[in-house]
């Protein structure tokens, strides 16, 4: 089936047209069109995402991207529209939900008239988007996905460890009790006077620093649960910066590198322990923070040393995008799961 997907949960407006086939046994996706309009420059001036500005920009960008999509697809056919309903910023989510309803009414009865069935709208969970992003075109063969799998989903709003027995049979093992990993990267970046979003900035600055320079705490690393906590680590960075007034470039680079190492150590240690305790065959890494090349590299190495498959989307599909929403929409449709077509700020996996 052809799925037109819409993502507007935060500060990226994205549309995609994807052909999905294979069912739950062997899902396969062909990305026909995919556009992302980033609002980062607009929110940067405010040091973070401003919900009403995000709403305004989504409302401006959605029709522009849709025009582009239509222009590039000679015959735009969609059997379904997958739209993110949550979690995310409610004013931003509503723009996507309303746009889905609007285009279904305006365009699809006319454009897609081959069958009597009209295009349906699939309310889609943003977290499922990240969770299934590893299914987007990749070089590995699908048989590499052997279960059980332990997935670490690390984004700006969430840090979740998931045990997957199949694509649709999964449970949450643990999550953060305070800040999400991406949020900690963003907050530490702000302390270092780096622009928003902080994750990529920390990663770049960390390359010039020594990860062993400062012994920041690794919260909850030895706890016998799968929860995380990043607020103590963030506070330690704050105290360190207060105590070390001379903020030279070298000192900042050491702080970035040492903070990044501490956060990655916790994420990897807990993921690998969950994998061992649940006899996992695969490790899956997803979410915006999964774009961090150190995290990618070290997690991959660990997976290899335990002889586990390592699965993760290409970097361009780690951050928010509509392609992953099409994938999640397809699976939601196959599972016959239904979300109300209403923005839901908080929604769990």
Residue 291 binds: one of Zn ion, ligand KG4, none (C-beta under 5 to 8 A by kind): ligand KG4
Q: Closest CB to Zn ion among 80 and 92?
A: 92
Between the CA of residue 158 and those of 68, 73, 74, 92, 167, what are the distances in Å?
A: 32, 35, 38, 18, 20
Bridging pattern class, strands 12-21 and 159-164: unpaired
Q: How far apart are CA 318 and CA 133, in angstroms?
A: 7
Q: How far apart are CA 319 and CA 200, in angstroms?
A: 11
The pair of three-digit structure tokens given for residue 84, joined into one six-digit string: 């993110």
* Residue 268 interacting partner from ligand KG4, Zn ion, none (CB closer than 5 to 8 Å by kind): none
C-alpha 152/C-alpha 233 separation (Å) is 19
Burial class (CB in 10 A: 0-12, 13-18, 19+), 283: buried
- Phi–psi pair at 38, nearest 5 degrees: -85, 140
Q: Using CA atoms, how far apart are residues 198 and 179, in angstroms rounded to an integer? A: 14
Residue 266 sits in the site that holds ligand KG4 (CB under 6 A): no
11 binds, among Zn ion, ligand KG4, none (CB under 5 to 8 A by kind): none
SS3 of residue 202 by DSSP: helix
CA separation, residue 258 to residues 116, 205, 325 (Å): 60, 11, 34
Pick the stretch among 57-65, 146-154, 274-282, 320-328 that binds Zn ion (CB under 5 A): 320-328
Closest distance between Zn ion and the C-beta of residue 325, in Å?
Answer: 10
* 44, 99, 118, 309, 319 from 201: Cα distances, Å: 13, 33, 45, 29, 15
Per CB under 5 A, the list member of 320, 322, 325, 343 interacting with Zn ion is 320
Q: Which of 95, 155, 260, 332 binds Zn ion (CB under 5 A)?
A: 155
Cβ proximity to ligand KG4: between 104 and 252 the closer is: 252
Residue 125 parent element (H or E): strand 120-125
> How many residues at the interface with ligand KG4, by CB under 6 A?
20
Sketch the per residue contact string, 273 through 302, with ligand KG4: x for CB under 6 A, - otherwise.
Answer: --------------xxx-xx----------
Q: Rounded to the nearest whole angstrom, what is the least distance from the CB of residue 182 to ligand KG4 in the complex?
A: 3
Could you say whether residue 86 binds ligand KG4 (CB under 6 A)?
A: no
Q: How far is the CB of 194 from ligand KG4 (least distance, A)?
A: 10
Q: Among residue numbers 144 through 203, which ones bind ligand KG4 (CB under 6 A)?
A: 155-157, 182-183, 185-186, 197-200, 203
In the bound state with ligand KG4, the residue whose beta carbon lies nearer, of 200 and 345, is 200
Task: Report the residue number, 174 or 199, with the smaller CB distance to ligand KG4.
Answer: 199
Residues forming contacts to Zn ion in the complex (CB under 5 A) are 155, 320
Residues forming contacts to ligand KG4 in the complex (CB under 6 A) are 10, 155-157, 182-183, 185-186, 197-200, 203, 287-289, 291-292, 319-320
């Amino acid at each position: 089936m052809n799925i037109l997907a819409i993502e507007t949960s935060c500060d990226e407006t994205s549309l995609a047209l994807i052909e999905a086939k294979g069912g739950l046994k062997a899902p396969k996706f062909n990305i026909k069109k995919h556009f992302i309009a980033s609002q980062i420059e607009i929110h940067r001036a405010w040091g973070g995402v401003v919900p009403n500005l995000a709403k305004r920009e989504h409302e401006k960008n959605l029709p522009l991207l849709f025009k582009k999509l239509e222009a590039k697809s000679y015959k735009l056919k969609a059997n379904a529209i997958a739209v993110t309903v949550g979690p995310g910023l409610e004013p931003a989510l509503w723009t996507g939900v309303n746009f889905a309803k609007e285009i279904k009414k305006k365009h699809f009865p006319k454009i897609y008239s081959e069958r009597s069935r009209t295009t349906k709208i699939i309310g889609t969970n943003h977290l499922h988007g990240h969770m299934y992003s590893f299914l987007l075109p990749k070089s590995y063969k699908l048989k590499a996905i052997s279960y059980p799998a332990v997935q670490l989903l690390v984004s700006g709003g969430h840090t979740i460890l998931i045990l997957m027995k199949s694509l649709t049979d999964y449970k949450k093992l643990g999550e953060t009790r305070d800040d999400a990993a991406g949020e900690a990267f963003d907050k530490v970046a702000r302390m270092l006077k780096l622009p928003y979003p902080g994750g990529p900035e920390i990663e770049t600055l960390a390359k010039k620093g020594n990860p062993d320079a400062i012994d920041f705490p690794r919260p909850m690393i030895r706890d016998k649960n799968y929860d995380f906590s990043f607020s103590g680590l963030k506070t330690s960075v704050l105290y360190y910066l207060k105590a070390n007034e001379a903020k030279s470039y070298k000192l900042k680079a050491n702080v970035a590198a040492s903070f990044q190492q501490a956060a990655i150590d916790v994420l990897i240690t807990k993921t690998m322990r969950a994998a061992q305790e649940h006899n996992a065959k695969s490790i899956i890494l997803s979410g915006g923070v999964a774009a961090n090349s150190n995290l990618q590299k070290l997690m991959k190495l660990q997976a290899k040393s335990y002889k586990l498959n390592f699965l993760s989307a290409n970097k361009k599909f780690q951050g928010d995008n509509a392609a992953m929403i099409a994938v999640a929409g397809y699976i939601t449709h196959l599972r016959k799961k239904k979300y109300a077509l209403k923005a839901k700020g908080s929604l769990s996996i």
